[in-house]
Structures are given as C-alpha cells and as structure tokens.
Structure 1
Amino acid sequence: MAQTHEWMFYEVMWRSWAGRAQVPYPVPWWAQQALRRWSDDFDAGTYDSKEAAFASNALYRYWGMVGVKDHRQESLVGQAGEIEPVYDKYCLSFFLFDPATGVLSLPQLTDGGTVEQRTEAPHLPVVLTTFRTANGVEFVQRTFATPVGARQRDAVVTRVTVGSPTGQTRDGLLCAAVLPAGPSGFQRHDRNGREITDRRLTFLRYLPGERRVETNSGWGPVFDAAPEQFGVYGNPEFSTDPDVYVRHSPFRDLVMAGKLSGAAEAQDQVAGLCSAVFTWPYRVAEDELMEVDVRLPVDLYSGSDDLAELRAAPADALEAANREFWTDKLLHQGVQPELPRPVAHLTDLFRQARSELLILSDVGEIHPGPTVYDSFWIRDSSVEATACSLAGDSALAERQLGTHYPLKFNRGGGRIGPCAEYGFYGGPHEKDDREWDSNGQALWAIGRFDRTSGRSAAFGTKLYTPYVVDGARWLRDNRDGFGLLHSGWSAEHLGERDKPHYWDDLWGLAGLYEAARLAERIGAPEVPELWHAFDDVKAATAASMRWVLAEQRRRGAWETYLPTGPGDVGRLDSTMIGAAAYFHPLRLHMGSKLGDDIDRAARFTLDTMYAHFVTGGFRHEAAWNAYGPYLTMQLAHAYLLAGNPERADALLGWVVRSAFPRTQDRAVALGAWNEQHAFPIASDFQEVPDRHWYMGDIPHGWAAAEYLLLVRDILFFEADEDRDPHLYIAPGVRPHWVPDAQSVAVEDAPTLFGQPFGYRLTHDAGARRVSVRIGAAPDGVRFVYPCRFGPVRSAVADGRNLDVTGFGDDVHVPAGTREFEVTYA
C-alpha cells in the first residue's frame, strides 16, 4: 500500500501534467515519460505500490552529473537544467515569466520554444542548458561543481544569463524554483528498506538578510544577488486533498495574480511538497545580458563564517579555476588517444568517461553511481581501478586497491552462509548477496596493478601477506562438492541467486592466476600451493562446462553455448553474457587456460549471444528487460580479443550512440551510460515493453571503465605477459577510421609490462601502405600488427624485410623495432 506522501506526489504530478495548459508546472522529464505511457504494472518485488515505484523514478533514470574529484557528493542535472544535490532535500530549477502577458515559460514544457543541453566541452564537467521561449527570450544556464575556501569544500555554482537573440528589447522575470522532486525522483522507498532516498521538503524558509534558503535542517541555495520577489509555499492546514498543492502554488500565483505571496516560511507535514520561487527582473536587448549566480552548498556548511567562505571567491574566479583544473587533468595528464576525424568523438568520450570516474571517486573509493549505487563494490571497483591505472590515473587506482581493499578484507572467524568469513573480500553488499566473485576480482585487480606499476613500486609485495595469499586460500577452501564456488548473486545480470554461476569461477581462476604469478615475481614460497589451487579450480570448472556442453548436445541443442551456470543446462537466454568474461577482462583464452575445447565453446557462445540478443546493443531481457550498455561493451571487447574487430566496431557504434540518447528532440543524457538503457528511450518510444523493467544509476562507473578499457585495447593490448610477451598494435582500428594521410597515435601509455608504450600509425591510401613509428616501448616486448586494410603483401622493419608468410593478416615485428611499414593488396 502506498504511503501518504507517495500517493500525494503521484496525484499532484499527474494533475499538474493534465492541467498544464491552464497553469504550467515544472513536471520533471522522467515523470512526463511515465505519465505519457502509463502502466499500472510495476516491479512488485522491489516496491509495494505503483505510487512508490513512481515516486522512486523506477523507469527513467537519466540525467547529467557534476562533481568534484575525490569528494563525497555529486549533483545531478536534469534535462531542463534542474540541479539536485544528491543528499540534500531540494532541487533548483529556473524559468521565465512575462508579467505583461501572464505567460509562464518553463524549460520542462517548451510550448513552442526549444531546450538544448550539452557539456561545455568533453573534458569539462560543466552542463550548459539553453532555453529559448517562443517569443524570443533566451536563458543560458552554466552549472559546475568546485571546491571553495581554505578547506576546499564542495559547492555547485550555476550561472544564468538572460538575453534577446533577435536583438529586440525584452523584459520580464527570471525565476528560480526550489522544489522537492529532482532528476532522480521524489523518494526511493523499496521493500528491503536499505535504499531510501527521501527528498521530502517538510520545512522551507528564506532568510532575506543572508540571501539563503533553508531546506529542512540543511542549507539550500545561496543567491549572489537578492531576489526582487519571493514566495514560500506549503500545506499549513495539513490537508490531504491533492488539489491544495495545485491551487496553492507559486506557479498559479504568478499566472493568476502576477506576483508571489511574499511568505518567507512554510511547512508541509503531510506530503513534504513545500516549494518556493524567487524572481529577478530583466530588461535585455541586442548585446545586453542579465546574469544571476547561485551557489549550492553541497558540503557541510554552518554559521556565518561558512557562509562568508562560500561567498568569498567571485563566481568568475571559481569558473576559471574549475576550467583550469579539468583542462590540465584531462588534456595534459594521462592517456591521450589521438584519433582521425571520422572517430575523433571516441577521444572526446574517452576524456568524459575519465572525468566521470574521477568524480565518482570518494577519497579513493570509486563508486559505480551517484545515487542508489553510491557505495563501494569490489566487483565494480576492480574494473574501474584497472581502467584508471591504464588510462593514466594511477594514483587513484593505487589508493583504491592499496588502502580500501585491505579495509574490505574480513578477518573474523565466523561464517558467511556456507563460506568462511576470514579471507573473504567484501562489505555488506558482498556478504548479504553472497557475491563470491569478489575474491577473484580483488586478486586479479591487485595483480594487474602490480604489473602496471612495475617491479620497483613493489605494490604487490606490500599486499601479498595476508591480502593476496589468504585471499587465494579462501578461493581454494570455500567451494561446493563439485569444486565450484557456491550459489550466490554476484551480479544481477547473471540470473537467480540460488544457483551457481560460472562467472564466479572464471573470476576465481583469473584471481588465482594473478596471485600465483605475483608470488613468482616476488619469490614467495607459496608458488606451488597457489598453482595447485589454480589447477584444482581449473579442473573443476572445465569438467563442469564439459558436462553441461555434453548434456545440451544429448538433449538435441544444435547451438553451442555456455549457459550462466551448471544449474541452467539448456537455458538459452541473455544471462549467458557472463561467459564474455572468459575473454574480457580475464584473458582466459590466452593460452587456452581451460583447454582448447572450452576455448572453442566460449567463442561459439559469443556468436550465439550475438545472434539471439543483439539488436544494435545487447538486449538483456532475462533479468533487466533493457539494453545493457556495459554488457554491450564487454561483448564488444570479447570480440576484439577473439579476433572479430568487425563486430566489436559495430557494437562500439551502438555504445557511442546510446551515450547521447534523445527523445522528442531533447537530450536525455550528455555522454554517459546507465547500468540499463530503457527500450523506450533507446527507440524514442517506438518500443515500450509490456512488463516493467529495471533501471540503475547514470553515469555508471563500471560502464565508463569498460569504455576506457575498450578504446585503449582497440589502440593496443598486451598478450602472454609471462612467457612470450608481445603487444598488438591497432588491433581494433578499422579501415574507415583512418582516411588517407590520417594518423592514429598514443603516447606514453601505461602497460602491463610496467613500462610505457606509444606509437603513431599513418595511412597512405594511394600507396596502400601503413607506416608505424614506435615511441616508448617496454624492453624485450615484440609487436604484432593485425593489418585491417587488406591482405599483407610485404613488411619492412627498420630497413629489414620481414617474413609475412603463414601469419594471415598479422605482421610479426621484432622487439626493439623503431619503425615499420606494411603494404597491402
């Protein structure tokens, strides 16, 4: 049954939406989408009523994000420029009012106007929202987050300029609204009670002397310039009639009376739907602008000294400092892919994904999202830390793996379900949901970062005892009677939690492999013990997979595929996406670590998935009933490593498009991915499922990390680091990427060999020649260039002819080569 405030919010939203022709109301974009295609079906497993699901925004979780690197709280930016500090109890939105005509112009309801939104630049987390009314008034809103004052506390600054694009004189009121509901919803209240985001505004007050708003017990917006008018609205009579909120609102007062109430304080103990509006007059003409700056104190502020510190720096200085920081960080530090004009947008998105991971880092903990996923998972963070280290943000990766992973290492003597507590990596998420993949992920990430850091850093040595060796022993000792990891719910995309999943075993193998190799590198005595554990898990996993494959053949299955686990024989659905991890990120195909037959089956599984579950992107209808952006990237990466760059490129194309979805000519997201991409948004409402779907956070840190790793490995990736170390150059660069005389390049990129690598590849289409100049390169590492332009005719390295027979399109180049040329047919 819906709680009172959930029911009230639902009623007020749809009544305001239905009555928008008479009195416009800033109904958020996500609520509009839900109301335009309403369904009483909802996720009853998560919510206890349709109103609770609606108030939680369960279907359309799309927004932009701004934040400060390594600070705790992010702020969301809605499609109309609404700003929602995640843990504060309000949302700030701007609109225009013309007192002469009584016309209220809201960017949420364009009414003949237009709204455009973009980031100021791909490397700048600054959101620009441009709203132009039907009668030719325009405001541009610039929103960014920045540290302020000596203590470098968080604040969001939003700067709104009003102008007349036609040059005609225009006057009216610029208005700012403080509302309870924001881009993420009104209140997330689910059955498990663990994920509650309560945005109810039960008390709202404006303090004119301080030009500051109080929201419940916290601080709201602080205005640089005092508003001319204001009005604060609530429910003083404790009415349970939803029409009270529709009739008694600042928007109705402006339309009907042309002015606001002037009240400075209000309460609403029924639904928490207090609201307020503040106005500033403008008169603009050609080359004239009116500007209002507002500061949102995102961090903890209290007292007059904090208010003075928040206001001390001019907004111009804060904006300039923000631009300087991100420009230096993302354009001059870390990996800088150089891609030709047809695919230059991939570099832009690479930088944006880096910024999102840096913002999602909370003092070294990378969180996979800003709201419901704003906490630390071993699983997500292992991929995120690895991506950061290979993109050049090694300090963040080192802090996460070296400081925060040990804090998640359990030392108790109790039990977690069927498993021992001691030696298990995980906090509440991993323990409560039996996420048995976490030990393999921790060991894998530690081992990979030890390789990248180089021997002189001794990163793995510092963590080896107890975090590596005892974490490996946990994998050895906590398995079921078949030698596999127990049933659990390591990731909801794998299927049910009461079944075992090969995903866990694959991660366990990769973690044990890295642990054994680390032990070899540092000369630890446990090398035989760790290899024995690896071999034991390998034998059990391979035997189980062979049994499943044989059983499916016995039942008459004509397609070869590895299902999500041994308890799902014959289950041909999208949960088999877990098998993509065999290739990426685990590289178990290198050296056929589970055997040639399993390797072939894993390759066939990719093709089975592609045939059944790819329509542009990967459709995960078995668990999410939505597209999976990061799952699409995993599949693309698996194809890249498995030697099918054509399919990798096709999937990458969908990934890039899905980062910038639009509906009704409005930008829905600005270069980021949800955990799930809803079918209605992906199709501009041409496809609306007949059952509910699941939506996670945006930006999704795991997805951002997958993109960084995919683009990086398209440019180059390492192979066989421990026996015959070599490096693939431009393995995923497609011919249409590189027009005549254009280049692909990367400089001083970190590698798993502990030394940087760089190269420049230039295409001469007329001569049918590719020239590659090697920059920095790891010692003793040979190169392989898979020529994608055509059959290889000849190759020359440093003036010496190379043997190109018997290798197909692969050109094998000796270690130490500085330059080579390849001609193709």
Structure 2
Amino acid sequence: MAQTHEWMFYEVMWRGWTRKALPVPWWARQAFRAWSDEFDRGTYESKEAAFASNALYRYWHMVGVKDHRQESLIGQAGEVEPVYDKYVLSFFLYDPATGLTHLPQLADGEAVEQRVLEPHLPTVVSTYRADHHVTLAERIFSAPVGARQRAVTVVQASARSTDGAPREGWLCAAVVPAGPSGFQRHDRQGRLLTDRRLTQLRYAADQLLVETNTGWGPAFDTAPEQFGVYGNPDHSHDPESYLVRSPFHDLAHGGKLNGSTLAEDQIAGLCSAAFVWPFRVTGEEEFQITVRLPVDTFQGADDLAELRSVSADELHIAHEAFWDRKIKGSGPQPELPGGVFHLGALFRQTRAQLLVLSDHGEIHPGPTVYDSFWIRDSSVEATACSLVGDEALAERQLGTHYPLKFNQGGGRIGPCAEYGFFGGPHERDDREWDSNGQALWAIGRYDRTHRGSGLGARLYTPYVRDGARWLRDNRDAYGLLHSGWSAEHLGERDKPHYWDDLWGLAGLYESARLAERIGAPEVAELWGAFDDLKAATAASVRWVLGEQGRRGEWETYIPTGPGDVGRRDSTMIGAAAYFHPLRLHMGNKLGDDIDRAARHTLDTMYARFVTGGFRHDAAWNAYGPYLTLQLAHAYLFAGEPEKTDRLLGWTVDAAFPRAGGQAAALGAWNEQHAYSVASDFAEVPQRPWYMGDIPHGWAAAEYLLLLRDILFFEADEDRDPHLYIAPGVRPHWLGEGETIGIDRSPTLLGGEFGYRLTHVPSESRVTVEILRAPQGVRFVYPCRFGRVTAVSVDGQAVDVTGDDVPVPSGTRRFTVEYA
C-alpha cells in the first residue's frame, strides 16, 4: 500500500503534467508518456512507491569536484539537484504582459538544448528558447571555494532577447522537492536512499539564503524583487490544494507571489518557493543572476561570506584551469583522426567522470544509489585510472582503501571465514565472493604497471598473501567458490557462478607473480592454490559442457555456473571475463578446450543477445552498456575487431541518447539503458526493468580500457612480453594520410609506450613510428587493411610471414604494404 506522501506525489505530478501547471521532471514525463501499472513488486510495495523512487528513467547529467563526497545532478530542463540535499533548483521565465509562465519542462524537445562546455570539463550549459522570444541560459559547474576548499555548485542563469528586439520579463528561480533522481527512493527493506521531501522551507531575506528543512539551500548573489514560499498550512490531504497553493498558480492567476518567508508541509513534503528578478534586454544584452548551492557543509555568517568570496567567473576560470591541467595536461592523449575524433573526446569525458566520482580516494560507481565503495567496481576503475594518467588516485584506492576493507576477525561470513576476506557491507551482506580475486588482481596489475611504487611489496603481507589463502581455503565440495550474488547481472544468489572462480584464478595468478617479483617465500604455495582452483574450475566447465552435449544442445556455451546446465540466457555474459579483463586466454590458462568453449560462448551471446548492444533480458530487461563494452573487449582479444567496432559504435551512441527530441544524457551511461529510451519509445517493455546509476563509473572505466587496448595492448607479460599495435583500428577510421596513435601511455610491462601510425590508402601503405617503448619488448602489427605484401623495418626489407607482422624490439620505424 502506498504511503501518503507517495500517493500525493503521484497525484500532484500527474495532474500538474496533464494541466501543464507544474515543472514536472523529465523522468516523470516519460513514465506518464508510457504508463504501466506494473512495477517491481519484489522491491516496492506499490506503483506510487516505485514512481516516487524513479525506478525506470534514471537519466541525468552530473557536475562535481574531484575527491569531494557530493555531486550535483542536472536535469534535462536545467534543474540542479545536490545529491544529498533536500531540494532542487529550477529556472523559468514569466511574461507579465501576457501573464504566461514559460517552463522549460513543458517545451518541446527542440526548444531546450544542453551540452557540456567541453568534453573534459564538467560544466553543463542548458538553453531554453521560450515562446516570447526570450532565451534562458544556465551555466552550471562545481568548484572549491575559500581557504578550506569546500565545494559549491554555481549556476549562472541569464536572459537575453532571442531576436535582438527589446524584451521584458521576469527571470525566475524555483525551489522544489522533485528532481532528476526522483522524489523518495523507499523500498521494502526500508532504505531511504533518496529523500527529497521538503517539510519546511524558509527564505532568510536578510541573508539572501533559502533554508530547507534543517540545512542550507540556494544562496543568491543579488536580491530578488519578489518571492514566495508555499506549503500545506491546513494539513490538507487533497492533491488539488498543492496545485492551488503554488507559486506557478499564483503567477498564472494574478502575476504576484505570496511574499511569505516560511512554509511547512507535514503531509507530503511538497513545499515550494519561487523568486523573481525583472529584466529588460535588447540586442546582445544579457541579464544574469548567480545562485550558489553549498554542496559541502557551510554554516554561520563567516561561511556564508566565504561562499560568496569569489566571483562566479573567477571560480569558473579556476575550474577550467584545473581540468585542462588534469585531463589535457597529464596522462596519455589518444591521437585520433576526424572520423573518430569523438572517441577521444569521450575518452577525456569518461576520465573526468571517474575523477568526479572519486570521494577522498574511493571511486564510487555512481552519484546516488551507487555512491559507496565496492571492491568489484573499484578494481576495474582503479586499473583504468592507473593506465590513463591517474595513478595517484589508483594507488590511494588500492593502498589505503583496500586494506580498510580487509577483514581480520575470527568469525564467519556464511560458509566462509571472515579473516582474509576483502569486503565491506556490500560484499559481506550479499556474499560477493568475487571480491578477493578482484582485489588481488587489481593490486598485481598496478604493481606490474608502476613497478617503482613498491605498492605490491607493501601490501603483500598480510593482504595479498592472506587474501590468496582465503581463496584457497574457502571453497565448496567441488573446489569452486560458494554460491553468492557477486554481481546482479549473473543470476540468482543461491547458485555458484563461474565469474567468481575466473576472478579467483586471475587474483591467484597475480598474487603468485607478485610473490615472484618481490622474492616472497610463499611462491610455491600460491602457485599451488592457483593450480588447485584451475583444476576444479576446468573440471566443472568440462562437466557442464558434457552434460549439455548429452542433452542435445547444439550450441557450445558456458552458462553462468555449474548449477545452470542448459541455461541459455543472457546471464552467460559472465564468461566474457575469461578474455576481458582477466586475459585467461593468454597462455590458455585453463586449457585449449576451455579456451575454445569460451570463444564459442562469445558467438552464442552475440547471435542471441545482441541487437546493437547487449540485451540483458534475464536479469535487467534492459541493455547493459558496460556489459556491451566487456563483450566488445572480449572480441578484441579473441581477434574479431569488426565485432568490437560494431559494439563500440552502439555504446558510443548510447552515451548520447535522445527521447522525444531531447537529450537524455550528454556522454554517460547508466548501468542499464532502458529499451524505451534506446528506441525513442518504439519499444516499451511490458514488464518492469532495472535501472542503476548514471554516470556509471564501471562503464566509464570499461570505455577507457577498451579505447586504450584498441590502440595497443600487451600480451604474454610473463613469458614472451610483446605489444599489439593498433589491433582494433578499423580501415574506415583512417583516410588518406591520416594518423592515429598514443604517447606516454603506461604499460603492464613497466615503462611507457607511444607510437604514431600513418595510413596512405592511395599507395596501400602503413607507416608506424615507435616513439617510446619498454626495453626488450617486441611488437606485433595485425594489419587490418588487406593482405600484407611487403614489410620494411628501419629501412631494411624483411620477409613477409602473414598479416600479423612481427616487429623486433628496438625498432624505431616500420612500413607495411598491402594488397
């Protein structure tokens, strides 16, 4: 049964939308556009609770400050929502000559445009062209201010004449409860993950400050000429009362706000307020106001003065300088030609997203429901950071925060020992047995890449050694890791998943190699643990494949686990980890037959579950952007770059979805991409779907890793270390005389690598310059343009041995001709 405030919110939004009377957020409009009374009954008690939580359309934009806890979300009409504060700031226009209120939420898609100022710069610009020839623009960014460098989100809102003719009107700001993320996320477990109820709202006119419940809200740089604060003074349970007691109603029926400074609503928490600044503009003139949202904790007169101590323009100049220096001035810079230049822009944007999602060295996979620390997500995120120029963040995450999640108690976590397990509440409560393998893998990969850091040696005892022993000692009767819920895309939590065992193998492998590098006495012990888990995993997979064959299955595929023989659904995506990120196919670590089965599993998934992107009907009933990137990466390593390219193309498009002519996101992925938004509502599922967070940090990390490995990747690090140059670069990427490359890129072989490839199709020739490379490492260039006919290395012709051109260590330049 719906709670009162949930039912009231649903009714008020529905009536406000149908009458075009309220600024209904984008996600609510999409829900009404394709309404269904079906909802996730396992999570929510009522359709109103599911609606209030925004269970289906979690799309928005984000700004924030690196290493600060709280981000701000930006709605599709320019609404600004500081994640943990109980209010949303919105802007609109009012024309006193006609009495018409112009809300960007009610405009058609073409009247509202949004963009990021530059891909690497977390600044969102939102523009609304109103019907009365006035344009409302917002520049939204977050920056640190004052001696303590506390975060503030700044909105510079302006009005100007669209056609240059003299225009008058009111620029208005509203404070409302419902924003991009929802109203109140309340599930059956009683978790209040988002609660934007405004039970009290106060405007301190002498301080130009709005106070929401018990905290600060927006602070204005200039005083409004009119204001009004609205609530529910008689405790009415009638939804109509909220539409009548509203600044939008008062403006539409009299053009004047109520002038009140205080309001309460103990029924639904739907207090609201509006503020007015009259303007007159002509030609290119612009009328501008600045509103500051105190994201970090500010309190008292001194803090209010500090909040306003630096002009908005100065803050933005410093903001731009920081991100220019960080993203464009450090780390490898992919060099991409015009046809795929956007891939490099998205590379910089996703790198910035990971840095914004970093909270004091912890990278969180999202700004709202995922704003906490998972070993699983962070292992991939830290590895990506270590390879794209943010190794200090990666080292802090692995060296500081992983030990804090290492359990040293003597109790039990389900069937497993507590001591030696990497995991906080998420991993412990949901029995995420993949986490030890992920922690050990990430530590080992970092130590390979940054060998001078000494991180591996510092963490070896007790964390690496005893974390590896935990993997050795906490397995079931078949030698596999126990049943659990390591990732919700794998299936049920009461079954074992090969995903856990594959990660365990990768973690044990990296632990043994780390022990070898530092000369630890447990080398043989760790290799023994690896061999034992390897034998158990391979035997189980062979048994499953045999059982499926006996049942008449004609396709070869590895299901999600040994308890799912014959389960041919999208949960088998966990097998992609065999290739990426774990690279277990390098050296056929589980055997030739398992390697072949893993390759066939990729093809089974591609044939059955890919329509542009990877469709995960079995668990999410939605597309999986980061799963699509994993599958693309697996195909890159499996030697099928054309499929990598197709999957990459879909994923890039999915980062900029549009619905109803309006941008739903500006270069970011949800954990799940709704079929309805992906198809612009041509496909609306008949059952609920799952929605995670956006930007999704794991997806951002997957993109960084994939584009980097498309340009080059390492192979056989421990036997015959070599680099593949441009293994995923497709012929259509490069026109006549165009170049592609990367420089100063950290490698898993230690040292940096850089190259520049130039293609001359008119002469069927490719030239590669090696700018720098780790010592003693050879190269392979897999020519994707045609059959290789001639090769020269540093000016000397060499024999042609196939289309995978071997290039010796120390080469500075080689040329390949093809037919």
Contact 1:113/1:133 (8 A) holds in 2: no
1:113–1:134 CA contact under 8 A, matched in 2: no
1:38-97, CA deviations, whole angstroms, 9 ceiling, x for partnerless residues?
111000111111110000000000000000001000000000000000000000000000
Distance of 1:12 and 1:135 partners within structure 2: 28
- Residue of structure 1 aligned with 2:500, choices 497, 501, 504: 504
TM-score, with structure 2 as normaliser: 0.99
1:817 to 795, 805, 811: 811
1:521 matched to 2:517? The reply is yes
SS of alignment partner, residue 487 of structure 1: coil
What is aligned with 2:320?
A: 323
Which residue is equivalent to 1:696? 692
- Post-superposition offset of 1:704: 0.2
Q: What is the CA-CA distance between 1:776 and the residue it aligns to?
A: 1.3
Aligned pair partner of 2:567 in 571, 583, 602: 571
Partner of 1:6: 6
Query: Equivalents in 1 of 2:217, 2:9: separation in Å?
Result: 21
> 1:111 touches 1:134 (CA, 8 Å); kept in 2?
no
Match of 1:294 in 2: 291
Contact 2:727–2:781, Cα closer than 8 Å, also in 1: yes
Q: Is the 2:143–2:319 Cα contact (8 Å) retained in structure 1?
A: yes
Counterpart of 1:310? Answer: 307
Query: What letter matches 1:424 in structure 2?
Result: F
Does residue 212 of the first structure (1) align with residue 206 of the second (2)?
A: no
Distance 2:312 2:453 in 1: 42
Q: Per-residue displacement from partner, 1:588-621 (whole Å, max 9, x unpaired)?
A: 0001000000000000000000000000000000
Q: Shift of the alpha carbon at 1:111? A: 5.7
| Alignment partner, residue 778 of structure 1 | 774
CA distance in 1, matches of 2:195, 2:543: 49
Structural mapping, 1:268-667, within 5 Å: 268-454=265-451, 456-667=452-663
Whether contact under 8 Å (1:442, 1:511) holds in the other structure is yes
Is the Cα contact below 8 Å between 1:617 and 1:627 reproduced in 2? yes
Instruction: Please tell me the root mean square deviation across aligned C-alpha atoms, in Å.
Output: 0.8
Q: Distance in 2 between matches of 1:92 and 1:752?
A: 46
The aligned counterpart of 1:161 is 158
Q: Any idea what SS the aligned residue of 2:105 has?
A: coil
CA distance in 2, matches of 1:318, 1:525: 54
Of 760, 763, 769, 2:759 maps to 763
Of the candidates 713, 717, 722, which is equivalent to residue 721 of structure 1? 717
1:203: Cα distance to partner? 0.4
Find the aligned partners of 2:193 and 2:599 in 1 and give their Cα distance. 42
CA distance in 2, matches of 1:675, 1:579: 19
Contact preservation (8 Å) 2:374, 2:427: yes
Q: What code does the residue aligned with 2:322 have?
A: F
- CA distance in 2 between counterparts of 1:468 and 1:527 reads 12
Larger displacement relative to structure 2 (176-185 or 158-167): 158-167
* Contact kept in structure 1, 2:25 and 2:105, CA below 8 Å: yes
Q: Is residue 35 of structure 2 the alignment partner of residue 38 of structure 1?
A: yes
Name the counterpart of 1:115: 112
Aligned equivalents of 1:615, 1:339: Cα separation in 2? 27
CA drift of 1:195 comes to 4.8
CA deviations 1:654-705 (Å, max 9, x no partner) are 0000000001110000000000000000000000001000000000000000
1:211–1:225 Cα contact (<8 Å) kept:
yes
Corresponding residue number in structure 2 for 1:89: 86
The one-letter amino acid of 2:691's match is M
How far apart, in 1, do the equivalents of 2:271 and 2:284 lie? 38
Matched, 1:675 2:671: yes
Work out which of the residue numbers 237, 242, 245 in structure 2 matches 1:240.
237
1:513-557 Cα distance to aligned partner (Å, 9 max, x none): 000000000111100000000000000000000000010000000
Tell me the distance in 2 between the aligned counterparts of 1:765 and 1:572.
44
Q: Match of 1:192, as an amino acid?
A: Q
Residues in 1 aligned to 2:221 and 2:636: alpha-carbon distance in whole angstroms: 52
Give 5+ residue unaligned stretches, structure 1: none
Shift of 1:798: 1.0
Secondary structure (helix, strand or coil) at the match of 1:637 reads helix
Once the two structures are superposed, residues 99-131 of structure 1 have per-residue CA deviations (whole angstroms, 9 ceiling, x without a partner) of 110111111011697000010010111000010
The offset of 1:257, in angstroms, is 0.8
Q: CA deviation at 1:19?
A: 1.4
Q: Which segments of structure 1 move beyond 3 Å, counting only runs of 4 or more?
A: none
- Following the alignment from structure 2 to structure 1, what is the Cα–Cα distance between the partners of residues 510 and 673? 34
Q: Distance in 1 between matches of 2:96 and 2:158?
A: 19
Contact 1:112 1:133 (C-alpha < 8 Å) held by counterparts: no
Q: Which moved further from structure 2: 601-610 or 326-335? A: 326-335
SS class of match (2:676): helix
Write the deviation string for residues 239-276 of structure 1: whole angstroms up to 9, x where unpaired. Answer: 11111101110000000111100001100011000000
- Secondary structure at the aligned position of 1:766 is classed as helix
Matched to 2:716, the amino acid is: D
Distance 1:229 1:113 in 2: 31
Shift of 1:738: 0.7
SS at match of 2:253: helix
Residue pair 1:364, 1:396 contacting (<8 A) in 2 also: yes
- Identity percentage over the alignment? 73
Distance 1:566 1:260 in 2: 66
How far residue 165 of structure 1 moved from its aligned partner, in angstroms, is: 2.3
Return the offset for 1:196. 2.5
5 Å-filtered alignment, 1:782-797, equals: 782-797=778-793
* Distance in 2 (alpha carbons) for counterparts of 1:305 and 1:804: 74
Per-residue CA deviation, residues 683-729 of structure 1 (Å, 9 max, x unaligned), is 00000001000000000000000000000000000001111000000
Deviation (angstroms), 1:136: 1.3
- Where does structure 2 lack aligned partners over 5 or more consecutive residues? none
* Cα distance in 1, alignment partners of residues 501 and 397 from structure 2: 24
CA deviation profile, 1:155-196 (whole Å, cap 9, x unmatched)? 000001111121111101000000001100000001122452
Q: What SS class does the counterpart of residue 537 from structure 1 fall into? A: helix
3-state DSSP of counterpart to 2:142: strand
Once residues 277 and 110 of structure 2 are traced to their aligned partners in structure 1, the CA distance between those partners, rounded to angstroms, is: 21
In the aligned structure 2, how far is the partner of 1:607 from the partner of 1:233?
A: 59
- Output the CA distance in 2 between the equivalents of 1:386 and 1:202: 44
Give the Cα separation in 2 of the matches to 1:493 and 1:160.
42
- Quick one: which amino acid aligns to residue 823 of structure 1? E
CA contact (8 A) 1:212 1:223 kept: yes
- Counterpart CA distance in 1 for 2:588 and 2:284 is 67
Aligned residue identity for 1:404? H
Take 2:627 and 2:373, find their aligned partners in 1: how far apart are those partners? Answer: 20
What per-residue deviation string (whole Å, max 9, x for no partner) do you get for residues 571-593 of structure 1? Answer: 00000000000000000000100
Q: For residue 762 of structure 2, give the secondary structure of its aligned residue in structure 1.
A: coil
Q: Does 1:256 align with 2:253?
A: yes
Amino acid at match of 1:487: S
C-alpha deviation, 1:18, in angstroms: 1.4
Q: Which whole-Å CA distance do the structure 1 matches of 2:505 and 2:191 have between them?
A: 32
- Check 1:448–1:555 CA distance in 2 against 1; reply closer, same or farther (3 A cut): same
Indicate the SS of the match to 1:795. strand
Shift of 1:335: 1.6
In the TM superposition, residue 458 of structure 1 has moved relative to its aligned partner by: 1.5
Q: Which letter does structure 2 place at the counterpart of 1:223?
A: F
Distance 1:97 1:134 in 2: 11
Give distance in 1, aligned partners of 2:160 and 2:211. Answer: 30
- Matched position secondary structure for 1:535: helix
